[in-house]
């Protein structure tokens, strides 16, 4: 069987598993990707995400991740579901990607099946899988593998599904035919930059995490400066503003993966859903959810920053049970 035939069999398997896009690129990292990464880090745009700087060399050189790697398989899975944020979350909004189950688990399990197929087709090859969990420049890889392009909002944009996609990678010592990098189709559009309420884009294609609502409500630890939270407009976990305004997202299609559909408890919640959330409800409502990433204290902080009541009763309860709830978090 030729390398081209092997690649095609893997592409068919990926589609059977539910992946909506498949591509291959070289495991030799591109110098331009390295330069952009180190410039971004040098400018301090990673804010308090110090692990990105610690692993910078590994991110920039896949040979340090898997010695002898020759190819990288890049896949994307559409997670779009058509409900609006107000329908799903009320006045306090959660990013669309967190409406359903944790994508790390859903995409990760399917990616492991694809890796198993790779092992069967090419015995003796070595490979590693990643779903937004390791020192891998996944958007740059996806762009080089032809899945889409990195837009001015720093998201990976595809022509068929817009930017509502999760990415995954298999780094392998197997040598497979590679695809051509995708063309940038942002053109002169600047809607994402213009729409950002916190001016998180100092220039096109560059995101300053320290000013990003998603970073502040998920990754940031400690108090959020009031001058920043005053512009959150109800976002308490993540933010979709720069994606909602992107013209390419008019091509969004409803995902076939029901695990990403809005959870029943978050779909059209009663007006007091957020303010009356108890610790037990937090655990049950957000079990296997990306929302656990911010932990109970973080969610309480985010709610507090967007509500008139400086400390709702339920938030006080959540804060009192931070240790209990933190023990249930699946991600550090």
Residues with catalytic roles: 132
Query: Phi first, then psi: what are they for 71, rounded to 5°?
Result: -135, 160
pLDDT, mean over the chain: 88
pLDDT value of residue 55: 85
294-299: average pLDDT: 84
pLDDT of 328 > 50? The answer is: no
Say which residue, 287 or 193, is predicted with more confidence: 193
pLDDT value of residue 309: 53
Q: The whole model's pTM is what?
A: 0.89
What DSSP letter does each residue of 41-101 carry, written as one string? HHTTTTTT-HHHHHTHHHHH-GGGTSTT--EEEEEEEE------HHHHHTTSEE-GGGSSS
Say which residue, 287 or 273, is predicted with more confidence: 287
**Per-residue pLDDT tens over the stretch 8-57:** 999 999 999 999 999 999 999 888 999 999 999 999 999 999 988 888 99
pLDDT of 307 > 90? The answer is: no
Task: Give me the architecture of the 3-81+99-172 domain, per CATH.
Answer: 3-Layer(aba) Sandwich (3.40)
290-304: average pLDDT: 87
Tokens for 40, please give them: 């971004």
**Per-residue pLDDT tens over the stretch 176-225:** 999 999 999 999 999 999 999 999 999 999 999 999 999 999 999 999 99
Q: Where are the domains of the chain?
A: 3-81+99-172, 270-332
pLDDT value of residue 265: 61
CA 84/CA 10 separation, integer angstroms: 35
296-314: average pLDDT: 72
């Amino acid at each position: 069987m030729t390398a081209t035939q092997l690649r095609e069999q893997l592409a068919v398997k990926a589609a059977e598993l539910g992946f909506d896009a498949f591509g291959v690129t070289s495991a030799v990292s591109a110098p331009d990707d390295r330069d952009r990464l180190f410039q971004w880090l040098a400018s301090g745009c990673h804010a308090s995400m110090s692990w990105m700087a610690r692993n910078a060399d590994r991110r920039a050189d896949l040979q340090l991740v898997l010695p002898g790697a020759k190819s990288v398989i890049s896949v994307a899975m559409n997670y779009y579901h058509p409900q609006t944020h107000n329908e799903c979350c009320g006045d306090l909004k959660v990013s669309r990607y967190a409406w359903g189950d944790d994508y790390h688990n859903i995409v990760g399990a399917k990616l492991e099946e694809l890796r198993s197929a790779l092992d069967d087709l090419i015995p003796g090859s070595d490979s590693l899988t990643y779903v937004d969990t390791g020192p891998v420049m996944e958007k740059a890889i996806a762009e080089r593998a032809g899945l889409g392009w990195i837009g001015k909002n720093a998201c990976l944009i595809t022509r068929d599904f817009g930017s509502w996609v999760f990415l995954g990678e298999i780094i392998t010592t197997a040598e497979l035919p590679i695809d051509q990098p995708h063309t940038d189709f942002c053109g002169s559009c600047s809607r994402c930059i213009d729409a950002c309420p916190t001016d998180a884009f100092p220039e096109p294609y560059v995101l300053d995490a320290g000013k990003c609502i998603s970073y502040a409500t998920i990754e940031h630890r400690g108090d959020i400066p009031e001058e920043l939270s005053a512009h959150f407009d109800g976002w308490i976990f993540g933010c979709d503003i720069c994606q909602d305004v992107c013209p390419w997202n008019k091509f969004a299609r409803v995902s076939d993966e029901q695990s990403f559909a809005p959870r029943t408890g978050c779909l059209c919640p009663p007006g007091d859903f957020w303010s009356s959330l108890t610790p037990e409800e937090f655990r049950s409502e957000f079990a296997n959810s990306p929302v656990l990433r911010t932990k109970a204290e973080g969610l309480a902080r985010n709610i507090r920053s967007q509500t008139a009541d400086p400390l709702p009763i339920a938030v006080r309860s959540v804060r009192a049970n931070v240790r209990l709830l933190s023990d249930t978090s699946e991600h550090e």
